[in-house]
Homo-oligomer: A and B are copies of this chain.
C-alpha cells in the first residue's frame, strides 16, 4: 500500500476501508443509522439481514402457519447450528450443540468433568475470568466441598501458561479459562495450556464467548475436552440467543451431565419410564431449545463462514492494530493506559483502555453516537467486529475519545 495518506489522517482509514476485502459484508447487516458508530459488537452483535428474513420465516411460516408440525425439522436444528459453530471453532461435526445459556452450559460441563475425576478436589480458573464463569465454579465448589483455585492473571497481558503449569497438580480435576479475556481482550494459548492441563491429568474447559467469530479456535487440534460459548457477540445471533457447548467425541460416551431432560433422552418421543441418555452430543442438552435462537445462530454462523476464518482474523488484527496505533498517538499521551496486549497475535477482537473517567467517557461517547462499553472499575472497551466495523469507525471513535478527554480537561 504505497502512496497512502499519513497514518493519523482520516484519509488513511478511508484507504484501509477501500482495500478491505470484507468491506461488503457490512451491507448484509441492518445497520441503517448513518449517525451510529457501533463498537460494542463484543457485547451484542448487529442484526444480519439474512437473520431478519430467517426469523420472519420461522415466526410467520414455521410457527404461525405450520405450527407444531415444524418440529419435524426443528428438532435437529440445535445440532445443525452446532455443526456450523464447529466449523468456526475447529470442531468436527457432532461435537457442538446449541443449547441453554453459557452459564447453564458451564454448570453442566463442569459437573460432568468433576464426576469424571473423582477424588480430585480442585477447580482452577482465573480471577479475571468472566463473572458468570467464576460464580458457577464458586457455586459448584461450595456445593461439593471442593477448592476453587484462582489464578492471578495479569489482566492486561493475559494468561501466562507458566502460571497454569505452576497451579495444576494431581489434585486438579478441572481447569476452565476464557480463550479471549472479556476485559483485556488477551488471547490465551489454547494448545499450550490444554497440554499442561492434560499432563496433570485434569480436564480443560474453554470459554469461547469473546473469541468465536473473531478469533479462530482449533478445539479438535488442541485436543480440548470441553467448551462453551455465547452467540450474541461476534456470532450476531441476537439478545439472549442460546449458547453452545462442545464435548470432544472421545468423551461423549463416558461423561454424563447432571440435568437429565427429555431432549437428552435416547428415544425422546417414546417418553419411556427411565432416563437413557442419547448417544452423542444430544446427551448434553436439557429441555426444549429456543428455535428462534437456534435459527439465528445458524444464520450468524453461515455469514461468518462465508467471510472465512482467515480473512476474519486478518481483518480483526488489522482493526485492533490500527486502533492501538491511533491510541498510542492520541490516547496514551492523554492518560489512557492500554489494557490489552500490544502484540497483535496475543489479542482478540476488542481493545481496552484504562482511564480514571472511563465511565463518564463511554457515556459521552454514546451521546455522540459512538457506542463502546464500560467495564469496572476504570476501563472502556472498543469492540471491533470484522464483519461490520470500518476503519473509519475506528478513526472517528478514537479521535472523538481524544477530543472528549481534551475537552474534559478544560471544561470539567
The answer to whether B376 and A260 have CB atoms under 8 Å apart is: no
Say if the beta carbon of A334 comes within 8 Å of chain B. no
The answer to whether A260 and B63 have CB atoms under 8 Å apart is: no
**CB interface residues, A 21-41, toward B, < 8 Å:** 30-33, 36, 38, 40
**Are A68 and B373 CB-contacts (below 8 A) given A63-B239, A260-B136?**
yes
**Are A258 and B107 CB-contacts (below 8 A) given A30-B60, A63-B47, A275-B135?**
yes
**Are A59 and B238 CB-contacts (below 8 A) given A138-B274, A288-B230?**
yes
Bound-state CA distance A74–B232 (Å) is 14
The answer to whether B131 and A272 have CB atoms under 8 Å apart is: yes
Say if the beta carbon of A366 comes within 8 Å of chain B. yes
**Are A68 and B44 CB-contacts (below 8 A) given A103-B287, A136-B260, A293-B292?**
yes
The residues of B that contact A44 with a CB separation of less than 8 Å are: 63, 67-68, 71
Say if the beta carbon of A261 comes within 8 Å of chain B. yes
Say if the beta carbon of A225 comes within 8 Å of chain B. no
> How many identical subunits does the complex contain?
2
Bound-state CA distance A39–B176 (Å) is 47
Q: Tell me the minimal C-beta distance from A304 to chain B in angstroms.
A: 18
Bound-state CA distance A173–B103 (Å) is 27
Say if the beta carbon of A69 comes within 8 Å of chain B. yes
The answer to whether B32 and A65 have CB atoms under 8 Å apart is: yes
Bound-state CA distance A260–B139 (Å) is 6
Say if the beta carbon of A259 comes within 8 Å of chain B. yes
The answer to whether B65 and A33 have CB atoms under 8 Å apart is: yes
The answer to whether B135 and A265 have CB atoms under 8 Å apart is: yes
Bound-state CA distance A274–B70 (Å) is 44
Q: Tell me the minimal C-beta distance from A262 to chain B in angstroms.
A: 4
The interface bits of chain A over 268-285 (1 if a CB of B lies within 8 angstroms of the residue's CB, else 0) are 111111110000000000
The answer to whether A269 and B376 have CB atoms under 8 Å apart is: yes
The answer to whether B289 and A143 have CB atoms under 8 Å apart is: no
Q: Tell me the minimal C-beta distance from A293 to chain B in angstroms.
A: 6
The residues of B that contact A366 with a CB separation of less than 8 Å are: 69
Q: Which of A33, A44, A58 has the most CB of B within 10 A?
A: A44
Name 19 A/B residue pairs within 8 A (Cβ), A-sorted. Answer: A32-B64, A43-B68, A46-B64, A46-B67, A55-B59, A56-B56, A69-B366, A101-B287, A102-B288, A103-B261, A104-B286, A104-B287, A132-B263, A134-B275, A138-B260, A239-B291, A240-B288, A242-B290, A293-B293
